[in-house]
Amino acid sequence: MNTITIQDESAAGDILNEITLKFNEEYITVSELIKARIELEISRYNDNVETYKKGLVTPGQLESKLNNKKSKSIDVEKQLYIALDAFKTNGFILLVDDQQVENIHQKVLVDKSTTVSFIKLTPLVGG
């Protein structure tokens, strides 16, 4: 099992959040990286809404209200679509080893020495 640590950074370079993801493969695509992150965040959100830190994508107000009332799970595919769209339209910048990634098909080495940073440029809200 290979692990990679992801950091969320502000535009000023402050670290806002850090998560570790595990993969069976040595190389993954940027798309697979974003999807794994979304799945982990949704799992954490569903486990405890009150203590969930804002992640890459957060559910919209209506979706949050519905989830609290009905304990309905957040749609992973919908949130992934929102995140991939934000990546394509520069809603956030993704750096791998301090190099900006611009293609969702680019391969990323899954290794403890690899540094991955998500720099949010605009807040992403699902809905």
36 closest CA partner among 102, 118, 120: 118
pLDDT digits over 39-66, tens only? Answer: 988 888 877 766 566 677 666 644 554 5
Q: How far is CA 123 from CA 22, 57, 66, 73, in A?
A: 26, 8, 21, 22
pLDDT digits over 71-126, tens only? Answer: 556 788 888 999 999 899 988 999 999 999 999 999 999 998 999 999 987 555 55
The pLDDT, as a whole number, for residue 27 is 97
Residue 10 to residue 2: CA distance in whole angstroms? 27
**Any residues with CB less than 8 A from the CB of 100 and at least 6 apart, and which?**
93, 94
Which amino acid, one-letter code, is at 76? Answer: V
pTM of the model: 0.81
Helix (H, G, I), strand (E, B) or coil at 29: strand
Taken in order of first residue, the domains within the chain and their CATH numbers are 2-120 (3.10.20)
State the sign of the Cα–Cα–Cα–Cα dihedral 18, 92, 102, 79.
positive
Q: Is the distance from CB of 30 to CB of 108 less than 8 angstroms?
A: yes
Helix (H, G, I), strand (E, B) or coil at 63: helix
Question: How big is the CA angle at 10 (ends 47 and 3), to the nearest 5 degrees?
Answer: 55
User: What single-letter DSSP state applies at residue 125?
Assistant: B
